[in-house]
């Protein structure tokens, strides 16, 4: 995969950084001196704007008390909906189709409870065997609540190589027994992008509703959920969106479903004008806001006020372009500098199929990650043998990538990893 005239010099990466139009955003983030942070696909770093918006919201609590729900620069009462408007361009949706609320798994429970309606032969849910475990737990739970056995009613499309899922295999599994499909937009290990448009079209042609988990794609790649007529989607905001640990999740519901009663009804799903009438008959909002359940997690949403402004200024298309350039350069550099080491690049090589991170496989992956951390490079280990590197375009530089690969080469050549046990930590 090395180009004939590939330039691996330090001078070249410095030139790339000097030409990078997104480089000024780097100074907006708190990056630790002597550390190269490449784990933004697990937890993004703190920005100064996110810090400010959190402190500003704390100040509104201090100043207004209960009146903070309706007073101040960012009233809390409709904050979830206003943040949804900010996120909508990142998922290619109309503003009323998006709301920031709950967590990924809570929102997935809500979406499945709402859209999984087994009838006749259509009683099964279709997923894949490589998806994030929490999604599987939620689907299994929803099946049990409807009286079905997950062992027989949760179909998991098999991977041919334990890294990727082929769209042809997913479509083949869309039988007349399937009532609902839930898939990741990007596989969390290998970084493969699934063809959302193709899969949605195929599902609808067969009369099946389909939703996606965008946790590993939102803020990293472009989406057109409304145009593709995706039925629903859920995501977190603490990875590429830099909302902070446990920051509020998000959900999208296609407007064609507005008016459908939420499967899990809650007070904050009410029409805002009717909510405080305190009636026991719920009048749902006429937007995605209807699928909120509980009171918004205001302090967990606050950092996103600042963080999402950065995305609006940078532009998701620009971020995606730089991300692809950085991951492509990193793969080429690894192939050149570590040709004699038994690494396998487990992510797709094609730009259109690769998300925001690269995935290296090595039998000593856990101890290699530990050695990298000792040397100031922060990667991410994924069992059983995977190392994820996410050069994030808002705050990582090409110099970061270049230095990280040189450190990886040093770790391998000097055998530094051998001093560590090849077992994951409590948090991989």
Is 238 a catalytic site residue?
Answer: yes
Catalytic residue among 20, 74, 213, 380: 213
Q: Which residues contact 241 (CB under 8 A, 6 or more apart)?
A: 44, 87, 90, 218, 219, 247, 304, 307, 308, 311
User: Residues 37, 148, 232, 238: which is the catalytic one?
Assistant: 238
Question: By three-state DSSP, how is residue 422 classified?
Answer: coil
Active site residue 239: yes
> Measured in whole angstroms, how far is the alpha carbon of residue 173 from the centre of its chain?
25
Residues β-bridged to residue 209: 180
Residues in CB range of 357: below 8 A, 6 or more apart: 41, 191, 216, 327, 347, 388, 389, 390
Q: Identify whether 201 is a catalytic site residue.
A: no
Q: How far is the C-alpha of 277 from the C-alpha of 328, rounded, in Å?
A: 56
CA 175 from chain centre, in angstroms, equals 28
Q: How far apart are the first and last CA of the chain?
A: 29
Residue 70: count of CB within 10 angstroms of its CB: 11
Question: Contact at 8 Å (CB) between 128 and 168?
Answer: no
381 is an active site residue: no
- To the query of whether residue 188 is one of the catalytic residues in this protein, the response is no
- The Cα-based distances of 132 to 19, 67, 129, 201, 353 in angstroms read 37, 40, 9, 24, 18
Q: 244 — alpha (psi -120 to 50), left (phi > 0) or beta?
A: left
Which residues are annotated binding-site positions? 104-105, 132-135, 213, 216, 238, 267, 295
Q: How far is CA 347 from the centre of its chain?
A: 16
Between the alpha carbon of residue 172 and those of residues 112, 125, 126, the distances in Å are: 22, 14, 11
Cα-based torsion angle of the residue sequence 181, 245, 52, 85 in order, rounded to the nearest 10 degrees: 10
Annotated binding site for pyridoxal 5'-phosphate: 104-105, 132-135, 213, 216, 238, 267, 295
What Cα–Cα distance (Å) separates residue 53 from each residue in 29, 50, 73, 78, 303?
A: 14, 5, 10, 16, 6
**Catalytic residue numbers, as ranges:** 132, 213, 238-239, 388
């Amino acid at each position: 995969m090395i180009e004939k005239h590939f330039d691996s010099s330090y001078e070249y990466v410095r030139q790339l950084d000097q030409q990078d139009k997104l480089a000024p955003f780097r100074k907006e983030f708190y990056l630790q001196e002597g550390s190269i942070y490449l784990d933004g696909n697990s937890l993004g770093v703190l920005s100064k704007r996110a810090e400010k918006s959190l402190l500003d919201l704390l100040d509104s609590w201090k100043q207004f008390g209960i009146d903070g729900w309706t007073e101040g620069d960012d009233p809390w009462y409709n904050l979830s909906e206003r943040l949804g408007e900010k996120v909508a361009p990142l998922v290619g949706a109309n503003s009323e189709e998006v709301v920031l609320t709950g967590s990924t798994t809570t929102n997935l429970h809500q979406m499945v409870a709402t859209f999984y309606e087994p009838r006749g032969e259509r009683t099964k849910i279709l997923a894949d065997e490589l998806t994030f475990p929490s999604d599987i737990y939620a689907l299994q739970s929803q099946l049990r609540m409807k009286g079905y056995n997950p062992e027989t009613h949760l179909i998991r499309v098999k991977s041919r190589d334990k890294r990727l899922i082929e769209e042809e295999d997913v479509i083949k599994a869309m039988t007349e027994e399937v009532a609902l499909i839930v898939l990741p937009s990007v596989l969390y290990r290998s970084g493969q992008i699934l063809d959302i448009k193709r899969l949605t079209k195929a599902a609808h042609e067969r009369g099946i509703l389909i939703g996606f988990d965008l946790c590993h794609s939102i803020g990293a790649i472009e989406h057109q959920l409304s145009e593709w007529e995706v039925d629903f989607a859920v995501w977190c905001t603490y990875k590429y969106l830099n909302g902070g640990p446990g920051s509020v999740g998000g959900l999208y519901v296609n407007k064609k479903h507005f008016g459908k009663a939420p499967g899990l009804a809650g007070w904050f799903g009410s029409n805002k004008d009717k909510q405080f009438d305190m009636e026991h008959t719920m009048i749902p909002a006429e937007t995605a806001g209807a699928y909120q359940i509980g009171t918004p997690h205001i302090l967990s949403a606050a950092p996103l006020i600042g963080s999402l402004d950065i995305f609006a200024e940078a532009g998701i298309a620009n971020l995606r372009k730089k991300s692809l350039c950085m991951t492509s350069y990193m793969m080429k550099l690894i192939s050149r500098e570590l040709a004699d080491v038994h690494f396998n690049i487990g992510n797709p090589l094609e730009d259109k199929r690769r998300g925001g991170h690269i995935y290296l496989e090595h039998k000593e992956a856990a101890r290699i990650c530990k050695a990298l951390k000792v040397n100031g490079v922060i990667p991410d280990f994924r069992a059983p043998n995977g190392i994820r590197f996410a050069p994030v375009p808002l705050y990582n530089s090409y110099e970061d990538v270049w230095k990280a690969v040189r450190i990886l080469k040093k770790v391998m050549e000097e055998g530094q990893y051998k001093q560590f046990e090849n077992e994951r930590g409590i948090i991989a």
